[in-house]
Amino acid sequence: MTAISDRDQLSYIAAQAADARVNVELETEGMTLNIGPQHPATHGTLRIVAKLDGEQVIAADPVMGYMHRGYEKLTEVRTYPQVTTLINRIDWVGSFANEVPFILAAEKLMEVEAPPRAQWIRTILFEMSRIANISLFLGDMGLQVGAVTPAFFAFRDREHVLNQIEAVTGGRFHPNFDRIGGLKDDLPAGWITETKRAMKKIRSFCDEIEGLLQGNEIFEARTRGIGVIPADIGLGYGLSGANIRASGVDWDTRRDNPCGLVHDELDWKVWTHVDGDSFARFWVRLQEVRESTKMVDQLLDGLPGGPVMAKVPRIIKVPAGEAYVETENPLGVMGYYIVSKGDLVPYRVKIRSASFNNISITPWLLKGVYVPDIVTILGSLYFILGDIDR
Amino acid sequence: MSRLSSTDTPEETTDAAEAALDGPRNELLARLASQLGDGLVESHLVPGDDLWIRVTRESWAEAAGYLNTGLGFQYFNFLSAIDWMPSPFGRDMDSQVDITLGHDESSEIDASLEHGVAGGETRFQVFARVNDIVNGLGVTVKVDIPDDDLSLVSWTSVYAGANWHERECWEMYGISFDGHPGLRNIYLPSGFEGNPLRKDYPLLARRLKPWPGIVDVEQMPGGDEEESGDDS
């Protein structure tokens, strides 16, 4: 064994240091990763331009507009009843819920109130849209971390709800069923029993999803502590729905500001979670679906009789004024700010969609996360592209 | 349209429940008035329902700061603008049949500016809504933007969520926001010319091919035998 001379040792260390310097210089060169516009994690055509340092995101810039349809402009040349056809296509997975705040705002300006039965059926369909919408999320969330089975379960069981919505409205995705002053039609015969059966299936679907994902080591590792949103940041960005409730904010417009829907007559609970991470958002939504099925059951039991349409003029002219109505839609708070000049068409409609605000936090939220987590964070924020682009 | 706004709040209704709901809004309005002083131009309060205030352009940033830190309106809801100049194209984009059915000729094109609740003086108005989620209150803040200087102080330093809304507003109305970190196109391709939501921006699709009209009007339930064209 020969002892290394001091001189040899020093030259070895110098060579190592030079190597390290080269490596450091290589590392500092960032990389831009373009996710989308067509990527399975983006639910449509959201594009995210992420600047990376190794595996870490240093800046993320969402690019929208690939599906911008200009609904705010189009509403200005459509009569009030025609507008519902458009706004069905904003959040296309829970379409009926889109119509509700618009119709309520128009009714507020017209000082018309829907008959009790119409209000109850509205609430039923509103909650069923939520179930159909969030079921998809529950399946999709598994898919984001590589679990394929939940997605199939979701599509299978969501069908039961869509069938019931179709039985009433005639449309699986675009019901166009809500009218100023009530609803287009009453429920078909035998619908109540069928719907109760569907709700039972959704509840067992929730149990299945819980069994598959919650406690699953991979799922927990990929979602726990990932994408944490503190409550104050979430409020500043205008996050709503399960996204803000998962950050511990106990706020649900269905309970706190009910207008036109009958949630205040039901026995239900607003679920919150303190963690604010991807898992919390998943968990809150899971509980919300369960809560919604219970609500639908109660609504079906207490359904009042009577007409489903109030007396409204055949040609609808909305009196001059301004009104803003928001409801707790599946994706979060959705509101319509209607400015009317007493005409057949609205003068201006500002559509406050939930996903636009929910996604506006991504530049802040994605900073510093690792590339694979982008997918789970976007999945857990849960947006529908039509709800961002409008 | 009649002028809906008034500087004094409407008389409270006798309904006790409604008055109880209304208390917080009256108090809120009083606190805003004392903080902003002359900055608060006009207000409109619907008891038990909603509150609008209109502030001067100079008080726009102060209003945001006070609402956020002083009054607990931490929730940013939305920001957008209204163009009060009636469309120079009038109703020619609608089917003639529809116009004769439900529209009286007298108010065909009225070029005068008419403002909504809480009044206004200029063509463009920016309005934003913030919420106090603890007490379940919301307030809509409006501000007039003079035609010769379409700019406003950005709210992004107070409400982070205003960022994208201001970008949208800039793109759709051409109102710029001072202090905004990056006014870029959000929906439209960069380099797009024009501001689509202004009333004088024509909706070309409609001008080229007018709306078919009455065939699309669905009859109300309970009326005559209904059968309307359905899009399949």
Instruction: Name the closest residue on chain B to residue A352, using Cα atoms.
Output: B78
Task: Say if the Cβ atoms of B140 and A79 lie within 8 Å.
Answer: no
User: How far does A15 lie from chain B, in Å, by closest CA?
Assistant: 45
Q: Which of A137, A206, A135, A140 is nearest to A164 (CA)?
A: A135
Instruction: Name the percent of chain A in helix, strand, coil, to the closest 5.
Output: 50, 15, 35
In a domain, A7, yes or no: no
In CATH, which superfamily holds the domain spanning B16-104+116-216?
A: NADH:ubiquinone oxidoreductase Nqo5 subunit (3.30.460.80)
Contacts A235 to B, Cβ<8 Å: 74-76, 133
Contacts A335 to B, Cβ<8 Å: 77-78
In terms of average pLDDT, the best of A74-78, A361-365, B42-46, B90-94 is A361-365
State the total domains in chain A.
1
Cα separation, A334 vs A351, in Å, equals 8
Intervals of chain B under pLDDT 50? 1-16, 97, 105-107, 225-232
Cα separation, B147 vs B90, in Å, equals 22
Cα separation, B134 vs A255, in Å, equals 12
Query: Across the interface, which of B76, B82, B218 has its CB nearest the CB of A339?
Result: B82
In a domain, A346, yes or no: yes
> What domain range includes position A262?
79-357
In a domain, A17, yes or no: no
Q: Which H or E run includes A95?
A: helix A95-110
Burial class (CB in 10 A: 0-12, 13-18, 19+), B148: exposed
Cα separation, B70 vs B133, in Å, equals 14
R_g over Cα of chain A: 25
Q: Are A41 and A374 in contact (CB under 8 A)?
A: yes
In a domain, A323, yes or no: yes
In a domain, A382, yes or no: no
Contacts A77 to B, Cβ<8 Å: 93-94, 203, 206, 211
CATH number reported for the structural domain that contains residue A254 in this entry: 1.10.645.10
In a domain, A22, yes or no: no
Pairing mode, strands A56-63 and A178-179: unpaired
Tell me which DSSP letter residue A309 carries: B
Cα separation, B113 vs B85, in Å, equals 6
Task: Say if the Cβ atoms of B206 and A77 lie within 8 Å.
Answer: yes
- Roughly what angle, to the nearest 10 degrees, separates helices A149-169 and A191-213? 160
* Structure-token pair, residue B115: 């403002």
Give the tens place of pLDDT for each residue, A241-295.
899 999 988 888 888 877 788 888 888 888 999 888 889 999 999 999 999 999 9
Cα separation, A102 vs A83, in Å, equals 9
In a domain, A124, yes or no: yes
Q: Cα–chain-centroid distance for residue B35? A: 24
Contacts A251 to B, Cβ<8 Å: 133
Q: Are A357 and B161 in contact (CB under 8 A)?
A: yes
Contacts A356 to B, Cβ<8 Å: 164
Task: Say if the Cβ atoms of B1 and A68 lie within 8 Å.
Answer: no
Q: For A14-18, A120-124, A328-332, which range has the lowest pLDDT when averaged over its residues?
A: A14-18
Query: For an interface test with A, which of B4, B6, B75, B157 has the most A Cβ atoms less than 10 Å from its Cβ?
Result: B75
Task: Say if the Cβ atoms of A324 and B50 lie within 8 Å.
Answer: yes
Does residue A46 register a pLDDT over 60? Answer: yes
* Structure-token pair, residue A181: 């002053």
Q: Are A191 and A172 in contact (CB under 8 A)?
A: no
Q: Which H or E run includes A80?
A: helix A80-87
Give the tens place of pLDDT for each residue, A188-203.
888 989 899 999 999 9
Contacts A350 to B, Cβ<8 Å: 78, 80
**Which residue bears the tokens 């950050």?**
A247
**Average pLDDT of the residues in A324-352:** 88
Per-residue pLDDT at B111: 59
User: ipTM of the predicted structure?
Assistant: 0.82
Query: For an interface test with B, which of A45, A322, A334 has the most B Cβ atoms less than 10 Å from its Cβ?
Result: A322
Q: Which H or E run includes A94?
A: none
User: How far does B186 lie from chain A, in Å, by closest CA?
Assistant: 6
Query: For an interface test with B, which of A45, A68, A324, A355 has the most B Cβ atoms less than 10 Å from its Cβ?
Result: A324
Task: Say if the Cβ atoms of A357 and B206 lie within 8 Å.
Answer: no
Per-residue pLDDT at B3: 39
Residue A143 neighbours by CB under 8 Å, 6+ apart: A40, A150, A151, A379
Q: How confident is the model at residue A1 (pLDDT cuts 50, 70, 90)?
A: very low
Cα separation, B127 vs A275, in Å, equals 34
Per-residue pLDDT at A224: 87
pTM assigned to the model: 0.82
Cα separation, A131 vs A161, in Å, equals 8
Cα separation, A294 vs B177, in Å, equals 47
